[in-house]
């Protein structure tokens, strides 16, 4: 399913595409396939990682994915995702869009609403408000939502969990 965000005032020339969906649904695979296709067609494109993608965000990623951090509160987790996202937007996403590139991200704000909001119970409106601040209002031009039965997605993931 493709979700178009509609036209809005853009501060850049590029195109911002995100892939969203449950665990194991193929977001990373589809993101990479799109990048390869665009590059083969001569389109300037970049695939960024979230959380991560830039030095500070990668450090935050290490904290978020460290299985020893079992006492992390849902609020702390939410804010760490937003902090990593804010750095990525400023350091990589906006500069690449301003160069006119197609920027592809496997996950963005929708994932935080889904996992920390609906999954952990953080207020979705609060997440969206913090997200607006953290992303400087940048929204994807197009989001591809990959729908797959949760049990099948977890089976595909195997024992790899965070």
Cα dist. 39→12, 36, 45, 103, 147 in Å? 20, 5, 7, 12, 26
What does pTM read for this prediction? 0.87
Whose CA is closest to 31, among 158, 108, 144?
Answer: 144
- Do the Cβ atoms of 85 and 50 come closer than 8 Å? yes
How do the pLDDT tens digits run along the chain, 162 residues long?
A: 554 444 344 566 899 999 999 888 889 999 999 999 999 999 999 999 999 999 999 999 999 999 999 999 999 999 999 999 999 999 999 999 999 999 999 999 999 999 999 999 999 999 999 999 999 999 999 999 998 777 776 777 775 555
Q: What is the largest CA-CA distance in the chain?
A: 47
In sequence order, what are the residues at sequence separation of 6 or more whose Cβ sits closer than 8 angstroms to the Cβ of residue 148?
A: 21, 22, 24, 25, 26
Cα dist. 33→20, 30, 39 in Å? 15, 5, 10
């Amino acid at each position: 399913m493709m979700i178009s965000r509609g036209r809005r005032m853009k501060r850049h020339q590029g195109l911002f595409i995100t892939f969203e969906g449950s665990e194991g649904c193929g977001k990373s695979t589809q993101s990479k396939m799109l990048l390869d296709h665009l590059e083969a067609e001569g389109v300037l494109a970049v695939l960024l990682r979230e959380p991560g993608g830039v030095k500070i965000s990668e450090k935050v990623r290490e904290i978020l994915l460290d299985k020893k951090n079992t006492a992390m509160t849902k609020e702390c987790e939410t804010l760490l995702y937003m902090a990593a996202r804010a750095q990525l937007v400023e350091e990589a996403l906006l500069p690449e869009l301003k160069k006119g590139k197609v920027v592809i991200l496997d996950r963005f704000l929708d994932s935080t609403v889904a996992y920390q909001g609906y999954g952990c119970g953080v207020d979705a409106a609060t997440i969206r408000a913090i997200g607006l601040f953290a992303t400087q209002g940048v929204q994807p031009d197009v989001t591809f939502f990959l729908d797959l039965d949760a049990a099948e997605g977890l089976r595909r993931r195997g024992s790899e969990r965070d």
